[in-house]
């Protein structure tokens, strides 16, 4: 019998707790596969955020630290400065990275810290029950924007990739989505490149992944993918904002 | 080894490096800025890393990462900065990450003043951050003690897998004294086999974490931590005390204030008043037991601190209501004088208080 599909060795056997249709799981798989394919799983040290993916420290099959809300880039800085030869990554949601942890991510990028950040943007606070995030779209209803987000009250949704791409130390910045098989393949490629950026010692690398939260958006998994395509992608355009030169 | 003249803040850095600290993350603040300044020069010379963080919040979380990765690591700051570090300190306590945090206390609350203070006693000894946790807390009274206890702090942090605080006042940070660096590090500390270093394919993955989603497990974790804190209470109490058995008055003070109290004690002796002193060196765990040695006919206990009396709660716990307790202090960056303390001692001894 030939094996056609196998769970990545980069993931442990602990079952995911994510809601049905949540794309956090797909993103975990892509990160895990990348670590294995690059042969760095045994050198990897990951930092989990506070958010729905808080338990990522149980899922990734490598050494892990659990950070305070938003502080993963500072924790990763501490780890990478102690172990410059290891491959260090953070996995963070949009509340974690784009709200409470903006200072930490901006300055890690600014210093050109040589770690990789996987930034999961689902336009909402998943774990705490669907409150507004800085990434919540205009008109989007959440439990703390019950009539829909307005510009007057909360400003425009923050575009982290565009902002981080202006920073010199950020050597790889790309926004991807995991809504279709084709986009998942592109996401995997970007994640791989973001880790290569670190391995080659280029500087800070981040991949923003547009992700669904069927539970708090109040849609079925399929409808949630449609909502992401119709609403998130137009405001958060996919594509590369920064790439580094290959070492010849 | 011969003695060298050093400023307190620089001595903190030198002692840390001597103790094997190779990582420092900090943010400048008066009166502790010479710590990062010193480290920025000295750490690269020994192959270490100094990093000026974007904030104290970031600095302490870098300490969390580095400590969790197995390194000897320190941060230093002063009162408002230490407030910002409380998040990281409670996370480090929860995740059992060894690290050393130096507080050169200044006047408060809020931005307060840049002169010396001791009004972070509650914050240092009662938690500061959220949850049931404790941190060893050393209060040096000289630059020599600062050096000794900074070095000891690294050993104790590793021994207990816990953050350790150095609670000095701004005076200690700023003044200069001759110091000697002793080779007294503990060589029998447990290996850091829990740290995140990459599995190298040789062991199960390590997780550094303070989250327990199931309440029972979180309670178990707390009970285990409490056992560790009990051990610290049994084994780590440090203090200086003299003149308690026949004292008319006993003063309680730590840090710079204890030195001013000692001057006042001499002035009182010249007037025929016998004054003893209890000087806690560990603010936590606290030397409650020594209060049993106090002369039962002592007229009263005088707590002296650069605060509005935060030191008094522990004095009351120690003396268990056996005699009256009084407080004398200056605050907001003001320093008590021997004459001011002597006046209080005379009132207590003469029964006019
Ligand atoms: C200091 C602090 N503030 C608030 C919280 C509560 N909290 C937990 S997760 C979260 C938001 C997470 O949202 P996001 O980062 O978007 O991740 P998601 O759950 O959507 O994956 C908040 C506010 C916390 N744990 N710590
Ligand atoms: S709440 Fe949303 S983000 Fe969290 S696991 Fe469920 S679907 Fe995913």
pLDDT digits (tens, 9 = 90+) for B209-226: 999 999 999 999 999 999
Domain extents in chain B: 4-191+206-235, 239-350
Residue B353: pLDDT band (50, 70, 90) is low
Q: Which of B83, B85, B89, B74 is nearest to B119 (CA)?
A: B83
In this structure, CATH architecture of domain B239-350: 3-Layer(aba) Sandwich (3.40)
Name the average pLDDT for chain B: 97
Can you tell me the distance from the alpha carbon of B120 to that of B284, in angstroms, rounded to the nearest whole number?
A: 13
C-alpha–C-alpha distance, residues A44 and A55, integer Å? 17
Q: Name the architecture of domain A24-247.
A: 3-Layer(aba) Sandwich (3.40)
CA distance B243 to B127: 32
Is A45 in contact with A79 (CB distance < 8 Å)? yes
Find residues 104-123 of chain A whose CB sits inside 8 Å of chain B. Answer: 104, 106-107, 111
Which of the four pLDDT bands, split at 50, 70 and 90, describes residue B352? low
Name residue B99's beta-bridge partners: B163
The whole-angstrom separation of Cα A22 and Cα B182 is 58
Rounded to a whole number of angstroms, the distance from the CA of B121 to the nearest CA of chain A is: 25
Alpha-carbon gap, residue A197 to B245, rounded angstroms = 69
Predicted pLDDT at B190:
94
CA-nearest residue for atom 2, ligand 2, is: A213
- Rounded Cα gap, residues B270 and B165, in angstroms: 37
Residue of A126, A131, A158, A224 to mutate, ligand 1, most atoms within 8 A of C-beta: A126
Residues B155-213: pLDDT tens digits? Answer: 999 999 999 999 999 999 999 999 999 988 888 999 999 999 999 999 999 999 999 99
- The number of the ligand 1 atom at minimal distance from the alpha carbon of A121 is 16
Sorted by where each begins, the domain ranges of chain A are: 24-247
pLDDT the model gives residue B183 = 86
Mutating to test ligand 1, I would choose from A28, A59, A91, A93 the residue with most ligand atoms within 8 A of its C-beta, which is A93
Q: Does A127 touch chain B (CB under 8 A)?
A: no
Q: Give yes or no for a contact between B330 and B115, defined as CB atoms under 8 angstroms apart.
A: no
Q: Which residues of B touch A (CB under 8 A)?
A: 23, 25, 49, 51, 53-55, 57-59, 61-71, 73, 87-88, 91, 95, 196-201, 205-211, 213
Q: Which of B140, B167, B116, B128 is nearest to B331 (CA)?
A: B116
- CA–CA separation, B215 vs B248, rounded Å? 52
CA distance A220 to A63: 34
State mean pLDDT over B251-262.
98
Q: Which of B62, B97, B217 to substitute to test the interface with A, most A CBs within 10 Å?
A: B62
What region, left, alpha or beta, does residue B128 occupy, with left being phi > 0 and alpha being psi -120 to 50 degrees?
A: left
Q: Which fold has domain B4-191+206-235?
A: Rossmann fold (3.40.50)
User: Which residues on adjacent β-strands are paired with residue B279?
Assistant: B240
Give A147-171 pLDDT, tens digit per residue.
999 999 999 999 999 999 999 999 9
Average pLDDT, chain A: 97
pLDDT in tens, A190-200: 999 999 999 99
C-alpha B313 to ligand 1 mean position (Å): 37
**Residue A32 burial class via C-beta count within 10 angstroms: exposed 0-12, middle 13-18, buried 19 and up:** buried
Confidence grade of residue A245 (pLDDT, cut at 50, 70, 90): confident
Read off the DSSP letter of residue A244: -
Give the best residue of A38, A63, A102 to mutate against chain B (max B CB count within 10 A). Answer: A63
* CA dist., res. B353 & res. B345, Å (int): 9
**pLDDT over threshold 70, residue B1:** no
Helices (H), B161-250: 170-174, 215-235
**Closest of B112, B166, B111, B109 to residue B143, by C-alpha:** B166
What is the C-alpha separation between B340 and B346, in angstroms, rounded? Answer: 10
Residues A13-23: pLDDT tens digits? 999 999 999 99
Interface of A with B in 40-79 (CB under 8 A): 41-45, 47, 54-55, 57-58, 61-68, 71, 74-79
* pLDDT, average across residues B271-278: 98
Nearest residue of A to residue B49, measured between CA atoms = A81
Could you read off the pLDDT of A74-133 as tens digits, one per residue? 999 999 999 999 999 999 999 999 999 999 999 999 999 999 999 999 999 999 999 999
Q: Which residues in A lie closer than 8 A to residue B91 (C-beta atoms)?
A: 67-68
Least Cα separation, residue A111 to chain B (angstroms): 10
Token reading at B23: 């990582």
* Chain B contact present for A145, CB below 8 A: no
């Amino acid at each position: 019998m030939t094996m056609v599909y196998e769970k990545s060795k980069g993931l442990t056997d602990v079952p995911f707790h994510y809601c049905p249709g949540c794309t956090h799981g797909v993103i975990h798989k892509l990160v895990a596969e990348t670590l294995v394919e690059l042969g760095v799983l045994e050198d990897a040290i990951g930092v989990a955020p506070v958010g729905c993916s808080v338990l990522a420290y149980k899922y990734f099959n490598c050494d892990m630290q659990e950070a305070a809300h938003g502080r993963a880039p500072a924790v990763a800085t501490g780890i990478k400065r102690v172990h410059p030869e290891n491959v260090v990554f953070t996995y963070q949601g949009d509340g974690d990275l784009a709200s409470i942890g903006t200072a930490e991510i901006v300055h890690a990028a600014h210093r050109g810290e040589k770690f990789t950040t996987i930034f999961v943007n689902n336009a909402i606070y998943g774990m705490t029950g669907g409150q507004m995030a800085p990434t919540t779209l205009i008109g989007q209803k959440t439990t703390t924007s019950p009539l829909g987000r307005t510009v007057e009250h909360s400003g425009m949704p923050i575009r982290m990739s565009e902002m981080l791409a202006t920073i010199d130390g950020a050597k790889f910045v790309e926004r991807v989505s995991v809504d279709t098989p084709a986009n998942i393949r592109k996401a995997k490629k970007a994640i791989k490149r973001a880790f290569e950026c670190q391995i080659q010692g280029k500087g800070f690398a981040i991949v923003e992944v547009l992700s669904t939260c069927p539970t708090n958006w109040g849609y079925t998994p399929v409808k949630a993918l449609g909502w992401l395509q119709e609403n998130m992608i137009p405001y958060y355009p996919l594509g590369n904002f920064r790439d580094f030169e290959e070492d010849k | 080894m011969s003695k060298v003249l050093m400023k307190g803040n620089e001595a903190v850095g030198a002692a840390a490096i001597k103790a094997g600290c190779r990582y420092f993350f900090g943010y400048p603040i008066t009166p502790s800025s010479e710590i990062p300044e010193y480290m920025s020069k000295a750490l690269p010379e020994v192959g270490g890393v100094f990093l000026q963080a974007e904030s104290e919040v970031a600095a302490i979380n870098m300490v969390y990462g580095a400590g969790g990765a197995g390194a000897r690591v320190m941060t230093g700051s002063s009162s408002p900065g230490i407030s910002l570090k409380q998040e990281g300190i409670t996370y480090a306590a929860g995740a059992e990450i060894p690290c050393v945090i130096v507080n050169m206390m200044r006047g408060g609350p809020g931005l307060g003043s840049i002169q010396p203070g001791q009004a972070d006693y509650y914050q240092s000894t009662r938690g500061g951050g959220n949850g049931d946790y404790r941190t060893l807390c050393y209060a040096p009274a000289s630059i020599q003690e600062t050096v000794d206890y900074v070095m000891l702090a690294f050993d104790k942090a590793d021994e207990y897998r816990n953050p350790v605080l150095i609670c000095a006042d701004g005076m200690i940070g700023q003044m200069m004294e001759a110091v000697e660096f002793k080779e007294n590090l503990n060589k029998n500390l447990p290996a850091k086999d829990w740290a995140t270093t990459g599995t190298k394919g040789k062991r199960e993955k390590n997780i550094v974490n303070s989250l327990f989603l199931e309440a029972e497990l979180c309670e178990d974790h707390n009970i285990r931590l409490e056992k560790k804190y009990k051990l610290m209470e049994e084994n780590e109490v440090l203090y200086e005390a003299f003149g308690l058995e026949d004292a008319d008055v006993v003063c309680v003070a730590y840090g710079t204030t204890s030195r001013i109290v000692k001057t006042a004690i001499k002035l009182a002796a010249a007037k025929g008043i016998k004054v003893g002193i209890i000087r806690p060196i560990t603010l936590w765990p606290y030397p409650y037991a020594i209060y049993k040695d106090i002369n039962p006919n002592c007229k009263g206990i005088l707590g002296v601190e650069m605060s509005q009396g935060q030191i008094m709660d522990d004095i009351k716990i120690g003396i268990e209501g056996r005699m009256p307790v009084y407080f004398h202090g200056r605050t907001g960056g003001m320093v008590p004088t021997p004459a001011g303390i002597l006046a209080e001692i005379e009132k207590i001894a003469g029964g006019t208080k």
